A = this chain, B = another copy of it.
Amino acid sequence: MSDENFDLTLFLPYLLNQAAEASSLEFQKIYKERYGMLRTEWRVLFHLGLYGRMTASEIGQRANMHKTKISRAVQKLTERRFVTRARDDADRRVEHLALTAQGQAAYADLHSVAQHYDAGLTAELTPSERETLQQMLLKLSSMRPDTFT
């Protein structure tokens, strides 16, 4: 039963985790040191920078983040004047979030860092490898595997 040519160090969830951690370590340092941000905060910032005005739920859906995480990230970001909140007039439950000038500046800075960082990471891959990697990661990201007993 135990297939010997199955190496657990090549187990995809494990490998992905290792690669994800290793690859985000240095970048993490940068947004932490420069802006005192957590991963959740950086993600909210980058969604707002990328897509413009959004609500917390919209960010949650796109980023696969739980609403409490977002709530807390937004709180920190507003405290530090990176983000503003505006109640929707029609539906007063929803809040529209947007970057302040300061938030835009931080986003622009980190966007550029990310760009160089990413280039550094992929430097060792050929363009086609890079493309394939992206496609596969996107596929895996959207997968919801069920019962594997």
Q: Which residues of B contact A26 (CB under 8 A)?
A: 144-148
Cβ-based interface call for A86 (8 A): no
A39 to chain B, nearest CB (A): 8
Q: Which residues of B contact A108 (CB under 8 A)?
A: 2
Do residues B145 and A11 form an inter-chain contact, with CB atoms below 8 A? no
Do residues A112 and B2 form an inter-chain contact, with CB atoms below 8 A? yes
Interface of chain A residues 103 through 128 with chain B (CB within 8 A): 108, 111-118, 120-122, 124-125
Q: Which residues of B contact A147 (CB under 8 A)?
A: 26
- Convert A20-53 into 0s and 1s, putting 1 for each residue whose CB lies closer than 8 angstroms to a CB of B: 1111111100100000000000010010011000
Cβ-based interface call for A61 (8 A): no
Query: Which among B13, B121, B132, B142 is the interface contact of A24 at CB below 8 angstroms?
Result: B13
Do residues B22 and A20 form an inter-chain contact, with CB atoms below 8 A? no
A interface, CB within 8 angstroms of B: 1-3, 6, 8-27, 30, 43, 46, 49-50, 64, 108, 111-118, 120-122, 124-125, 129, 132-134, 136-149
